[in-house]
Amino acid sequence: MTGRGGVQSVVLLLIGGALIRTAWTGTYVRYVKPGLQWYLIVAGAVLVLVAAVNLARLFGTAARTGHEEHGHEHGRFEPSWLVVAPALVLLLVAPPALGSYAASHGGTALAAAGTSDFPPLPDGDPVRVSLLEYAARSVFDEGRTLQGRNVTMSGFIVIDGDRRYLTRMIITCCAADARPVKVGLAGDVPPGTAADTWLEVTGTYTPRTDPDPIDGEPIPYVAVGSAHAIPAPKQPYET
C-alpha cells in the first residue's frame, strides 16, 4: 500500500485515535472547553471509520493487481509517509496546557469579566473565588465587595522581574483563543517558586495594581496570607 491515498488514510486513523484518546482520558480540557468530550469521541470515531474503509479499499485494490506492480516498486521509499510522524506524535504524546510562556505574551483578560454590579461574596471564611472574579471585583468594583474578606484562589506562577503573578488562562472555545488573567502576589510566597508552579493562595484585598506590560490593563494584587504548591488541576482553564 503506497501513495497519497495510503498516507491520508493512516493520518486520518492516527488523528482519529488521538481525538478518542484525549477525550477518553480527560486531557481534552487542555485544548477545549469542558463538556465537549462526547463530540470529540464521535468525531474521532468518524475519522477512524473513514480511514478503515479507505485502507480496506486500498488493500483490496493491491490484492487484485497481483504481485507484478508490487515487485516493480519493491524497496522504493515514499516521501509522503513522512507526514505520518507528526500525527503519530499527537497520538502518543499529549501536549501540555498553556502556561507561563503563553501568559507572559498576552495581555490580561479583564474585559471578559464585564463591568456589571457585583453581589456580595457568599458566606465562608475564606471564600473560594476564581482569579477572574477576584480581578474583576478588584478593578471594576474597586474592591468594595472584597473588603474584610479572606479569599482563596489558585493558578500558576508567571514571573516578571521581581514580581510574581498568579495566573489562569481564560478560554471562550478552545486554547487557540486563550488569554491570561493575572493577579499580583503582595507578600511572601514559598521560596524558590518557579514559573509554572501551581499555587493555592489565601489572602485579602489590597488596592495595589500594576499596568500589564502587554496591553496596559490593570493587574490587581492580593495580600498573601498563606500560599502552598498544589498539583496542576485536571481543568486548567477558566471559562
pLDDT category of residue 227 using cuts at 50, 70 and 90: very high
Within a domain: residue 175? yes
Could you give the CA distance from residue 181 to residue 138 in angstroms, rounded to a whole number? Answer: 13
**Strand bridging mode 163-170 / 151-160:** antiparallel
Across 60-85, average pLDDT = 60
Q: Which residues pair with 152 in a beta bridge?
A: 128, 202
Query: Do 72 and 182 lie in a common domain?
Result: no
Number of domains into which the chain is organized: 2
pTM of the model: 0.74
Asked if 88 and 135 sit in the same domain, the reply is: no
User: Do residues 25 and 110 both lie within one domain?
Assistant: no
pLDDT band at 108 (very low <50, low <70, confident <90, very high): confident
Q: Is residue 131 located within the same domain as residue 196?
A: yes
In a domain, 202, yes or no: yes
Residue 116 lies in a domain: yes
Residue 105 belongs to what domain range?
101-229
Answer yes or no: is 238 within a domain: no
Using only C-alpha atoms, the chain has a radius of gyration, in whole angstroms, of 25
Determine the pLDDT at residue 189.
Answer: 86
Residue 236 lies in a domain: no
Q: Same domain for 65 and 110?
A: no
Do residues 86 and 125 share a domain?
no
Last residue of some domain: 34, 61, 95?
A: 95
Cα separation of 122 and 140, whole Å?
A: 19
Asked if residue 237 is part of any domain, the answer here is no
Say what the pLDDT of residue 114 is. 60
Please state, rounded to an integer, the average pLDDT across all residues of the chain: 83
Average pLDDT over residues 194-211: 95
Tell whether 209 is covered by a domain.
Answer: yes
State the cell numbers at 145. Answer: 465587595
Q: Are residues 63 and 110 located together in one domain of the fold? A: no
Please tell me whether residues 179 and 84 are part of one structural domain.
no
Q: Does 77 have pLDDT greater than 70? A: no
| Domain identity same for 127 and 87 | no
Residues 138-189: tens digit of each pLDDT? 999 999 999 999 999 999 999 998 899 999 998 888 877 889 999 999 988 8
Residue 111 confidence (pLDDT) above 60: yes
Which has more confidence, 11 or 69?
Answer: 11
pLDDT given at position 150: 97
Q: Which of 66, 95, 124 corresponds to the end of one domain? A: 95
Of the three residues 60, 79, 95, the one that is the final residue of a domain is 95
* pLDDT per residue as tens digits for the range 203-218: 999 999 999 988 888 9
Identify whether residues 108 and 63 lie together within a single domain. Answer: no
**For the domain that residue 219 is a member of, what is the CATH number?**
2.40.50
| φ and ψ at residue 21, rounded to 5 degrees | -65, -50
Do residues 213 and 117 share a domain?
yes
- Please indicate, yes or no, whether residues 116 and 180 belong to a single structural domain of this protein: yes
**Residue with the larger pLDDT of the pair 221 and 107:** 221
Q: Compute the distance between CA of residue 141 and CA of residue 209 in angstroms, rounded to an integer.
A: 14
